[in-house]
């Protein structure tokens, strides 16, 4: 099963041709040890979404919100604070 997870790829449904359309503030939170959907996807999404923020959470895999809830909460707080500060300027 682990070898399946290592080489399995998400089927391309044309997302790479549409993802640039996202204009809303976007936070990507990803587990560094995610073996189901590797962090390379997060990096690709981050590069394709203008102005997005990527937080890679160490010590977490695919279930990052369950594995590192405090780190996820901190990431969301920092992101929302930065959005609120930007909107008041």
The dihedral over CA atoms of 53, 69, 36, 57, expressed in degrees to the nearest 10, equals: 50
Q: Is 21 helix (H, G, I), strand (E, B) or coil?
A: helix
User: How many angstroms separate the CA atoms of 8 and 14, rounded?
Assistant: 18
The pLDDT tens digits of the residues spanning 13-58 come to 778 789 999 999 999 999 999 999 999 999 999 999 999 999 999 9
Amino acid 5: pLDDT: 47
Q: Is the pLDDT of residue 4 over 90?
A: no
> Where exactly are the structural domains of the chain?
25-88
Beta partners for residue 63, in sequence order: none
User: How many angstroms separate the CA atoms of 88 and 50, rounded?
Assistant: 21
- Please give the model's pTM, rounded to 2 decimal places: 0.83
Amino acid 14: pLDDT: 79
């Amino acid at each position: 099963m682990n070898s399946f997870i290592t080489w399995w790829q998400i089927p391309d449904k044309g997302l790479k041709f549409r993802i640039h359309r996202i204009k809303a503030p976007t936070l990507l939170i990803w587990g560094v040890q995610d073996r189901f959907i590797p962090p390379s996807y997060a990096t690709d999404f981050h590069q394709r979404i203008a102005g997005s923020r990527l937080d890679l959470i160490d010590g977490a895999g695919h279930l990052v919100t369950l594995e590192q809830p405090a780190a996820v909460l901190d990431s969301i707080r920092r992101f929302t604070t930065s959005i609120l500060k930007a909107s008041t300027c």
